[in-house]
A = this chain, B = another copy of it.
Amino acid sequence: MASVEIVTIGTEILLGHLLDTNGGHIARALADHGVDVYAKHSVGDNADRLALMLEGVLERADGAIATGGLGPTVDDLTKDAVARAVGRELRLHEPSLRAIEERFRSFGRPMAENNRRQAYLPEGCIVMENPHGTAPGFIALRDDGKFIACMPGVPREMRPMLAEHLIPWLVERFGLREAIYTRTLHTVGIGESDLDRRVEDLFRTLENPKIAMLAHGGRVDVKVMAKADSPEHAAAMIEPVAAELRTRIGSGYYGDDETTLPGAIVQALVRRGLTLGLAESCTGGAIADEIVGTAGASAAFRGAIVAYADAVKTALLDVPETILASAGAVSEETAVAMARGARRRLGVDVALATTGIAGPGGGTPEKPVGLVWFALALGDGEMETRRLTFPGSRADIRERATVAALGLLWRRLERQAQAPAAVP
């Protein structure tokens, strides 16, 4: 089993002006391949401290994986420190210089003298090409076989280099035959403890593949992780478990891996030839924003009326003033009237309405901050309502309400898909 430590380089990351996403990405990818990741370090742009750090890593682990500090400026000291740590000189690498020159030519820009520096690499290293930027990556080897791999800090350049060059090299060198492959099943509208009850026996008994849950902002993901020697074997191990999970989760399941909730909703609407409109008060455009964030939303989404003021609820959604006066703006009656109004005014099949108290002010004992009413109108006369109360700040409440509204819509569309007679 190989062991490594990860080093991210740059004062901006050390001081948190830039959030480090590279370290976690590399650690997960390596752990998935059975590499033991001991630790992750950040150092500023200081060649002495970096060299000391790298020497320390090579005392404890088989290798160091570093990102950042390969740019053309004087701050970019990584290569000097690496050369010292492995005891090699920097030498001009002609193919890298030609690749950098070619890159500048293709952009029609003159190459600065500084960029030549980027083609100097530790003698005897393995070069990793960078088709997405000027700085090549490399793996420098010390006489005792320990290594330091260096990649650019820009995630768009680092990630393909890791996947296409560094991981295959590690797999080969350390004979790593097995990797962990993950499928993520996304759910909405089911509480973590409810979901736990439904899958608890699998959670307890399965070993390979095994499952895990991750809750975030009103959604819960179920991960199925298989250790296997190829993607094909992993898929064959994962698929039956995923199928069993989908059955148990029911209409709260909305897709795998890269699928988003608004994306799944738009696809379900398009599949069934339905159009969607919204009437938003406390969510204030956030649901519309989520839907429009999906490429191709125009095939189903017509528009939204953000009726923040009561006068707009009356004028554009035809909410009767008598309802606002008797039941109040935050009430089941108002939510229902908003959904009906949106359906008619926007000329859509399905309309979803929200009205609530996002705070921090405006709460009462009967209607506390966090209370939100939802109404979903489908077809003539069909109406579903929901009353929920969310904890947290104004931003938390609005975010939770947005997810809950999308979840309500998704689960209704799924239930109707299973009962075709009820389709409007």
Q: Which residues of A contact B (CB under 8 A)?
A: 13-17, 19-21, 23-25, 27-28, 31, 37-44, 49, 52-53, 56, 60, 214, 278, 280, 282-289, 291-293, 295-298, 301-309, 311-312, 315-316, 345-347, 358-361, 394-395, 398
Contact = CB atoms under 8 A, between A and B. Distances in A.
A19 B19 contact: yes
A interface SS class: mixed
B284 A291 contact: yes
A371 to B, nearest CB: 16
Contacts of A53: 39
Nearest to A52: B60
Contact of A16 (B28, B283, B297, B360): B28
Contacts of A315: 345-347
Copies in the complex: 2
A21 B20 CA distance: 9
A14 B27 contact: yes
Given A288-B308, A292-B306, A302-B309, 11 more contacts: A13-B24, A14-B39, A16-B21, A19-B19, A19-B24, A41-B42, A285-B292, A288-B306, A302-B308, A303-B306, A316-B316
A192 B302 CA distance: 37
Nearest to A278: B306
A154 to B, nearest CB: 15
Given A286-B285, A291-B284, A304-B285, A41 B38 contact: no
Contact of A298 (B291, B303, B308): B308
A396 B21 CA distance: 19
A398 B214 CA distance: 29
B291 A289 contact: no
A344 to B, nearest CB: 11
Interface centre among A19, A49, A284, A305 (most CB of B within 10 A): A284
B39 A293 contact: no
A359 B308 CA distance: 29
Contact of A308 (B14, B20, B303, B306): B303
10 contacts: A16-B27, A37-B44, A39-B41, A40-B42, A292-B308, A298-B308, A302-B309, A303-B316, A305-B305, A305-B316
Contacts of A24: 13-17, 19
B31 A15 contact: yes
A286 B289 CA distance: 5
A289 B395 CA distance: 10
Closest 3 A/B residue pairs (Cβ):
A16-B24, A284-B292, A285-B288
Nearest to A7: B39
Given A39-B49, A42-B23, A285 B295 contact: no
Contacts of A305: 303-306, 316
B15 A292 contact: no
